Chain A
Amino acid sequence: MPVNVKAKLISKEQLKNDIFKFVISSKEIANIAKPGQFLEIRVSNNIDPFLRRPISIYDIDKENSSLTFIFQVKGKGTTILSQKNVGEEIDVMGPLGFGCFKLENYKNISIIGGGIGVFPLHELAKTAKQNANVNTYLGFRSKDFVLCENDFNNVSNKLVITTDDGSYGENGFAINYLTADLDKSNTDCIYACGPLPMLRAVQKLALERNIPCQLSLEERMGCGIGACLGCAVKTSSSPKDAPQYMHVCKAGPVFDAKDVEI
C-alpha cells in the first residue's frame, strides 16, 4: 500500500539548466515500488501551488532504501521543488499507480522513449536486464537535450540515441531505428514513454505488427490516487458515441497499447 511520508533529500544534481536529479530516502516506498510507478510530491506547505506534482520514479534502490527521480522545471511547483537543499525533507506520497510495467517472462524487449519521457524507462530497463536482452531507443530534440545516456547504457544491451536534427547520435526519430531493428529481429514487447505523437506512432506500429506493447501515459492529475477522476484516458473499446474512461493515476500510468485511445 502507498504511504505518505517525509523523505529526506540525500542527493541533488543539476543535469541541465532546467533538469534536476533528486535522490530521496524512504524505506517504506523503496521496498514496494515497481518499475513504472510514480510519486506525488507536495512541494510546499502553502496552499499555492495547490496540487501535488506527479513525478515518475527513475531508479529504485532497495538496498539503500532510496529512490531517484528526475524532473524538468516547468512552472511554480517544480521551481520550488528544484530549490530544496540536501538534508531537507520532502512530502512524498507513493508508490502510486496500479498499472506498472509488466515484464512477464520476455527474453527480448525494446524500450523507446522521447525527451523527458525517458525517465520512467530507466528502472524498467534496469529490472528487465536481469532476465532479458534490452534494446533501448531514446530520441531527443538535439545534442543539448540528450539526457541520462550513461545510465541507460549501463542498463541496456544496445542503446540508440537519436536527435531530430542529427546533432548527436543517429539522425531522425527513435522510432525509425526501432522499426528498422524490428525488421531484422523479433521483440517480445515494446515499452514506451514520451510525447504523444511518439506514443501514437509506437502504438500503431505495435498493433500493426501484433507485438505486445505497454505505454506509460501522462495526463493532468488532481489527487494521484484515483479519487478525483481527473486524469481520464479513453478506452479503445469505447463505442464512438459513448466514450468510456480509465484513469492514468489508478489503472495506469502504464497501459496495454491495445486498451487505450490516445
Chain B
Amino acid sequence: MLHGTFGYGREFDQFIDLNKLGGIITKGTSLKPRPGNKPPRICETPSGMLNSIGLQNPGVEYFAQNDLPWLKKFDTAIIVNACGSSIDEYVELCKILNTLDIDGVELNLSCPNVKAGCLAFGTTYEGVKEVTTAVRKVLDKPLIVKLTPNVTDITLTAKAVEDAGADAVSLINTLLGMSINIDTRKPYLANNTGGLSGPAVKPVAVRMVYQVAKAVNIPVLGMGGIVTGEDAIEFMLAGANAVSIGCGNFISPDVSINAIEGIESYMTKHKIDDINSIVGTVEMN
C-alpha cells in the first residue's frame, strides 16, 4: 500500500509497475479543491522530513473524472483518503465516494496541516466517533479511519473507530513538529509547524500500532517510517494486518517494490508460508 505521498499514482507509473502493489491510497481528497499552504512546505530532518502541504488537491469531482479512470487500469486496490473541515463536508464527500468505483475510503481525521477540521475531530474519542458514525451511515464501502499520533492515549481514538462501526483503523499520520533555521531564527516551514514522517518516527509508530492492535478487534493498517521489508515485518509483528509506505517513496520510486521483495525474503528465511501468521506475534519481555 502506498500512502498520501503517492499523488494519484501517475508520477510513479513511469518508474514502477503499479500492478505489483496491494493498493494505492490516494492523497487527501476533499469535497472542493484545496490550494494547499504557502511554501516552503517541506523541510528535511534527521532520517525524515517535515511537511505542511495543507492537503492541496483538485477536489473529488476532478479526481472522479480525471484520475480514477486512469487508476482503474491497474490491478490494485484504490482507496481514497478523504478529508473535510466539518461533519457535513465529510458526509457529503463520502456520499459521492460511495458512488465511485473504488475499493474503500480512508477518513483522514488527522492532518496536522490544515486549520479547521481533520485534526480537530481526530484527537478525542467523541470527535472520532461522531464523524465516523455520520460517515458510516452514508458509506457502504469499506471504511478505514486514520488516526493521529498527536494524542496522549491513541487507544481511545482507536476504540472510537471500532465503536462507530468502521472496518479498519490506520496509523500513524504525521507527528507535529518544527524545525528552525538558526541563522534567520525563523522556522523553515512557512506554516511554522508541520508533520514529521519517515524513519525518524518509526519507533513511535510501532509502539502505537502495538497498543492499538491490542485494544481493538478490527484490522490495523500500519505506517510511519517504513522503507524496507524489515520495517514492514516489524509493524506486522507489532499487530499490523497490512502496511503502507508514505514518504519512503521519495527515497526512490521503487522503495515499495523492494519492500515487497524484502518481505518475501524474510518469509523464505524464516520458513513462513502465510504472512498473516506473524501478525501480532511479538513476544514482549
Q: How far is the CB of A76 from the nearest CB of chain B, in Å?
A: 9
CB distance from B202 to the nearest CB of A (A): 10
Could you say which residues of chain A place their CB within 8 Å of the CB of B251?
42, 47, 50-52
Complex Cα distance A115/B11, Å?
32
- For residue B51, which residues in chain A have a CB less than 8 angstroms away from its CB? 222, 228, 230
- The CA-CA distance from A46 to B198 in the complex, in Å, is 12
Check if A93 sits within 8 Å of B198, measured CB to CB. Answer: no
Interface extent on A, as a size class? 20 to 34
Q: Report yes or no: A51 in contact with B250, Cβ–Cβ below 8 A.
A: yes
Given contacts A50-B44, A51-B49, A227-B12, contact A42 B56 (CB under 8 A): no
Interface residues of B in 207-226 (CB under 8 A from A): none
Stretch at the interface among B31-39, B85-93, B267-275: B31-39
Our pick among A48, A219, A228 for the contact of B40 (Cβ within 8 Å) is A219
A228 partner, pick from B15, B250, B253, beta carbons under 8 A: B250
Interface residues of B in 168-218 (CB under 8 A from A): 188, 198-199
The answer to whether B42 touches A91 (Cβ under 8 A) is no
Q: How far is the CA of A49 from the CA of B250 in the complex (A)?
A: 12
Assembly CA distance A68 to B251 (angstroms) = 22
Q: Are B36 and A47 in contact (CB under 8 A)?
A: no
CB-contact partner of B250 in A91, A223, A243, A244, under 8 A:
A223
Interface residue ranges of B140-159 to A (CB < 8 Å): none
Whether the pair A4, B254 counts as a contact (CB closer than 8 A) is: yes
Give A127 to B188 CA distance when docked, in angstroms. Answer: 37
**Given the complex, which residues of A lie within 8 Å of B76, measured CB to CB?**
none
Closest to B231 in A: A47
- The interface residues of chain A, by DSSP majority, are classed as loop
Q: Give chain B residues whose Cβ lies under 8 Å from the Cβ of A228.
A: 5, 7, 42, 51, 53, 247, 250
Instruction: Knowing A48-B46, A50-B49, say if A232 contacts B36 (CB, 8 Å).
Output: yes
Across-interface contacts of A4 in B (CB, < 8 A):
15, 252-254
Across the interface, which residues of B come within 8 angstroms of A220, CB to CB?
39-43, 188
Residue of A nearest to B44 (CB): A51
Cβ of B14 under 8 Å from chain A: yes
**Chain B residues, Cβ within 8 Å of A48:** 46-47, 199
Task: Check A222–B14 contact: CB distance below 8 A.
Answer: no
CB interface residues, A 35-71, toward B, < 8 Å: 42, 47-52
Residues of B within 8 Å of A233, CB to CB, are 39
Say which residue of A93, A219, A224, A245 sits within 8 Å of B56 (CB atoms): A245
Contacting B at CB under 8 A, from A201-227, are: 219-227
Q: Interface of A with B (CB < 8 Å)?
A: 1-4, 42, 47-52, 91, 93, 219-234, 242-245
Other A-B pairs beyond A222-B5, A225-B11, 8, CB < 8 Å: A4-B253, A42-B252, A50-B199, A223-B5, A225-B253, A228-B51, A229-B7, A233-B39
Which B residues lie at the A interface, using CB under 8 A? 5-7, 11-12, 14-15, 27, 35-49, 51, 53, 56, 188, 198-199, 227, 247, 249-254
